[in-house]
Structure formats: structure tokens, C-alpha cells
């Protein structure tokens, strides 16, 4: 096998004797697999020149003697990619620039993943704005969370962005949405846009697109990656300007003046030719790659400043998609939703509550087996929409336990709150799946069975467990909010 999941992942998705939902996405040299909604494989073929066409066949491996049945097969061609252009100013940022001309206080929000969370283009672009408009007092709203995409972004934009009353919002999810179906990207990005515009029609929005190594071939061929192409449809509909940082990267790669991925030497010279862009093929070095991103954004902002004028009238067009995520809501967990096995923790008594205070102002901790979270949700009836995703906004980490998840009368499933990366705690979501319209009851209980943490951790991270076993000994669960469409009902 070229790639395969861990035994822990296989145990999560396995349903002996039942039908399994199997999704395969092949895009260029990258192949991704999902079983029952859980991603099991994300593989990029490193060898160039292999045949890119062939037959599609169904088979089993491992010399097993078994009967396997298949049904409901569908084949969907991925939508065409958009031509790669560095900046499409569209309507520009008229309200923002008009306010900047007047002076006073302006708030700039950055909603995205780890590339935005880094002290790179976000910090550098805000510094440029302060220099360009000295009459303005700028306030930053940092709403970036590593490893998250536009799906979580649509749930948390109200708490993390809109509550800060921004005048300009940069949205960056092109890399983390790289494996997401284009139709879902359109729905989640439109949800973000409509929530912002409904809260304040004069808040300007700009989509920025970053890239990872597997997206480079598309850009070098003059095309946006699929995620950015999907976002362009939303941007076109709402007149939102877009900037692709990767077009300049592709140009410099072609010219031989940039190395996309390499080892960072000591000492490091940011001015070296060719420029070293990153060490991991995803996250730009602050001194070089992020600086390049900022240069692209600055010249694009200058272009946008000439592109639109503020006529005082902002009309929100009809929704592009009936299933957009405009109604996505983040509902903090309350005492009525938890039993005595839970404790509300704060910055003064829990280091994780202090660390994640800005993202999770409400945080609960279940310390012992039996601690139960219970809530009811009403999913609205929407024409053409089969159901809505529901999830729990939580933490995963080395001390994470196993939870038993029950939705209505469906069979229970057990989910570990630790994954292969978890040598540290980070924000995550516990998906409860797609729920149809109507009322539903959700019960999630911390079990006594600890996850097989050594098996779950990637091999490169197992030494951390051996060196710091105390980090992994707790069997806890931290949860902050429920992510829903519709309304939360009394438990």
C-alpha cells in the first residue's frame, strides 16, 4: 500500500456487517480518502512522470477471502479551475479607504488558519497600514486558528470577528480548505460573507489565497487551485476583491529565484538568491515567504484603492446557494447542559483556559468517567437542504480521553480526543454528522477507556510520550460550545 491509516483510525470508521460510505478524491498527484466521513488517507505522489490516466476498478487487498458488495456508485468531475490572476479588485474596499481618509479608529480583522496566525503577513500588513495612514488608530482583530478551515470559520465569525465591529476583514482559508469539496467551500464562504454583511453593510471584505506545495503545479500552469477557484465564485457574486499570494511564488519559481521548500541554514540570510520560501512546503518563513506575501498584498491594496468609490449604498444580493452557512451559530455550553462530572474552568485555575481564553471564553472540563454533556437542537426545514452539520467546539491534546457519542436513537460511537499531532493541545471540533430537519437530542459522555495514545500518535511524535508520560496520563475532555444551525433547545 502506498498509504494507509493508523489502526486507531480504522477502528473509528469500521462498522462490521454494515454499509460504509467511501469517498475518493483524485486531484493531480494528490489522492484523499474518506470512510464514513472520516479522512483516512491524504497522499501526494512524489514521483513525476507517472501516467495520469487509466481505468477505475474496485478490488480488495491483503489476500483476504471475503465477500464485498458495492452500491450507489457516483463519479463526479471536479469543476474547472479559474485562471490565475494575482489581484481581482472587483468593487475594491471603498468603505475602508473612505474611513481611513477621514481618520479616527479602524479595526482590521484577520480570519484564517496557521499561515495567518503566524507573525508574518498579518503583522506586516497591519504595520504597512499604520505607516500608510498615520491619521488612523488601527486595532487588530486576530481571528486566526491553525489547522481550521472555512467550515469552523462560518460558526465562529460572529464571536471572533463580528463582535469586534471590524471595518475590514481578510479571509484566508485556501490551504486548509484544499481537501474540501468545492460545493461545501462555496456554502461556508458565502455564510461568512453574509453574516459579516448583515451585521454591518459597510464592513469591507477581502479574500486572500495562500498555497502549499501540492498546489504549486496548478499555479505554474496558470490556474488557481480548486479551493481558490470555488471561493472566486462567491467573490464574483458579492463583488469581493481577491488576492492570490501564490501567483508571485509561481513566477519566481519559474525564474529560478525561489526555492519553495528546503532546509533553513544557520546562519540564515533572507537576502540570499534564490530565496528560501519555507521549510515544510506550507508555512512561509517570516523573513522571506511572509515578506513576499506582504509585498503582494500591499501592491494589491494600492490597486484596490483606485477600484471603487463609496456611494453610501450597499445592497446584499440574493443568496448564491440555498445551503449557505449564514445561519451557522456558536452556542456556548451552559451549566444546564452538563452534569456534576463537569467543572467550569477559567484562566486563574486552568492553564488551558488561560491559553485559549481569546477563542474559548467559556470552557468546561470533564475529569472523570461518566461526565456527560447533553443538549437538544432543532434543525430548520429548508427547501433543497437535506440536513445540517452539528458539532462540538472542543480541545484535543495529549491528555484527551475517549468520548461516547449518541445522537437520538442512532448507534453510539466512540471518539478519541487526541490525534497523531497531539504532543500539544489545540482547538478542534467533534463532528456529530449531518442531522435532518427536526428536533434531536445529543449525549456525549467521557468514558473510562483511555485511547491507545501510542498507536494514535504519528511515529515521529511517540518519543514525546516516552519522554513526558505525565502529559498523556490524564483522561479528560475540554469543551466550549456547540456548533449548530437553527436553535438550541432546553436539555
Q: Are strands 372-379 and 438-446 parallel, antiparallel or unpaired?
A: antiparallel
For the stretch 408-450, pLDDT in tens is: 999 999 999 999 999 999 999 999 989 999 999 999 999 999 9
State the average pLDDT for the chain.
92
Radius of gyration for the alpha carbons in the chain, expressed in angstroms and rounded: 23
Count how many residues are written for the chain. Answer: 491
pLDDT value at position 311?
Answer: 54
Which whole number is the average pLDDT over 201-223? 94
In 3D, which of 311, 295, 285 has the Cα closest to residue 87? 295
Instruction: List the Cα angle 189/195/197 in 5-degree steps.
Output: 100
pLDDT at 238: 96
347: left (phi over 0), alpha (psi -120 to 50) or beta: alpha
24-57 confidence digits (pLDDT tens) = 878 777 788 888 767 788 887 777 667 767 778 8
- Residues forming a β-bridge with 14: none
Q: Are 319 and 326 in contact (CB under 8 A)?
A: yes
Q: Give yes or no for residue 59 having a pLDDT over 90.
A: no
Of the given ranges (29-38, 255-264, 333-342), which has the lowest mean pLDDT? Answer: 29-38
Output the nine-digit C-alpha cell for 337.
447542559
The answer to whether 414 and 403 have CB atoms below 8 angstroms apart is yes
Q: Which residues pair with 370 in a beta bridge?
A: none
Greater confidence (266 vs 46) lies with: 266
pLDDT single digits (tens) 246-257: 999 999 999 999
Binned at pLDDT 50, 70 and 90, residue 309 comes out as low
115, 246 in Cβ contact below 8 A?
A: no
Residue 40 has which C-alpha cell?
Answer: 483516512
Nearest 10 degrees: Cα torsion 173, 174, 180, 183: 90
Query: Do the Cβ atoms of 179 and 148 come closer than 8 Å?
Result: no
Set of cell numbers at residue 364:
468546561
Contacts within 8 Å (CB) and 24+ apart, 215-220: 215/175, 215/178, 215/246, 216/246, 216/249, 216/250, 216/253, 216/260, 217/28, 217/29, 218/28, 218/81, 218/84, 219/84, 219/244, 219/246, 219/247, 219/249, 219/250, 220/250, 220/253, 220/254
- What distance in Å separates the CA atoms of residue 82 and residue 266, rounded to the nearest whole number? 40
For residue 282, what pLDDT is reported? Answer: 96
- The structural domains of the chain, ordered by start, are 1-77 (no CATH), 87-305 (3.40.50.1110), 328-489 (2.60.120.260)
Amino acid at each position: 500500500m502506498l498509504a494507509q491509516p493508523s489502526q486507531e483510525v480504522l477502528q473509528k470508521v469500521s462498522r462490521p456487517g454494515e454499509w460504509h460510505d467511501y469517498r475518493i478524491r483524485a486531484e493531480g498527484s494528490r489522492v484523499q480518502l474518506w470512510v464514513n466521513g472520516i479522512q483516512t488517507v491524504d497522499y501526494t505522489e512524489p514521483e513525476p512522470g507517472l501516467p495520469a490516466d487509466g481505468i477505475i476498478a474496485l478490488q480488495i487487498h491483503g489476500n483476504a477471502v471475503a465477500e464485498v458488495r458495492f452500491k450507489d456508485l457516483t463519479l463526479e468531475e471536479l469543476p474547472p479551475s479559474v485562471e490565475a490572476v494575482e489581484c481581482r479588485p472587483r468593487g475594491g474596499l471603498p468603505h475602508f479607504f473612505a474611513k481611513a481618509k477621514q481618520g479616527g479608529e479602524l479595526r482590521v480583522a484577520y480570519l484564517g488558519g496557521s499561515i495567518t496566525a503566524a507573525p508574518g503577513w498579518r503583522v506586516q500588513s497591519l504595520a504597512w497600514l499604520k505607516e500608510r495612514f498615520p491619521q488612523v488608530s488601527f486595532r487588530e482583530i486576530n481571528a486566526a486558528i491553525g489547522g481550521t478551515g472555512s467550515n469552523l470559520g462560518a460558526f465562529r465569525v460572529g464571536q471572533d470577528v463580528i463582535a469586534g465591529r471590524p471595518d475590514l476583514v481578510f479571509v484566508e482559508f485556501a490551504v486548509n480548505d484544499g481537501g474540501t469539496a468545492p460545493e461545501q467551500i462555496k456554502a461556508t464562504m458565502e455564510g461568512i460573507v453574509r453574516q459579516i454583511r448583515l451585521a454591518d453593510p459597510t464592513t469591507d471584505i477581502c479574500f486572500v489565497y495562500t498555497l502549499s506545495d501540492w498546489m504549486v503545479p496548478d499555479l505554474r500552469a496558470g490556474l488557481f487551485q480548486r479551493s481558490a477557484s470555488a471561493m472566486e465564485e462567491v467573490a464574483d457574486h458579492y463583488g469581493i476583491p481577491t488576492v492570490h499570494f501564490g501567483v508571485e511564488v509561481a513566477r519566481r519559481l519559474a525564474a529560478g529565484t525561489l526555492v519553495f521548500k528546503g532546509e533553513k541554514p544557520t546562519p540564515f540570510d533572507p537576502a540570499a538568491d534564490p530565496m528560501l520560501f519555507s521549510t515544510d512546503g506550507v508555512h512561509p518563513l517570516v523573513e522571506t515567504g511572509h515578506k513576499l506575501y506582504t509585498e503582494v498584498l500591499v501592491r494589491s491594496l494600492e490597486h484596490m484603492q483606485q477600484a471603487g468609490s463609496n456611494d453610501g449604498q450597499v445592497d446584499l444580493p440574493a443568496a448564491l446557494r440555498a445551503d449557505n452557512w449564514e445561519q451557522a451559530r456558536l452556542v456556548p455550553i451552559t451549566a444546564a447542559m452538563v452534569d456534576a462530572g463537569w467543572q467550569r474552568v477559567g484562566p486563574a485555575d486552568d492553564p488551558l483556559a488561560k491559553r485559549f481564553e481569546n477563542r474559548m471564553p467559556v470552557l468546561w472540563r470533564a475529569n472523570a468517567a461518566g461526565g456527560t454533556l447533553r443538549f437538544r437542537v432543532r434543525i430548520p426545514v429548508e427547501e433543497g437542504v437535506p440536513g445540517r452539520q452539528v458539532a462540538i467546539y472542543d480541545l484535543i491534546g495529549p491528555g484527551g480521553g475517549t468520548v461516547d457519542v449518541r445522537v437520538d436513537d442512532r448507534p453510539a460511537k466512540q471518539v478519541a480526543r487526541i490525534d497523531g499531532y497531539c504532543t500539544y493541545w489545540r482547538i478542534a471540533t467533534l463532528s456529530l454528522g449531518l442531522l435532518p430537519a427536526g428536533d434531536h437530542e445529543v449525549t456525549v459522555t467521557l468514558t473510562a477507556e483511555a485511547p491507545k495514545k501510542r498507536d494514535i500518535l504519528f511515529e515521529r511524535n511517540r518519543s514525546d510520550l516516552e519522554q513526558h508520560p505525565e502529559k498523556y496520563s490524564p483522561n479528560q475532555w475540554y469543551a466550549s460550545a456547540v456548533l449548530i444551525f437553527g436553535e438550541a433547545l432546553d436539555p
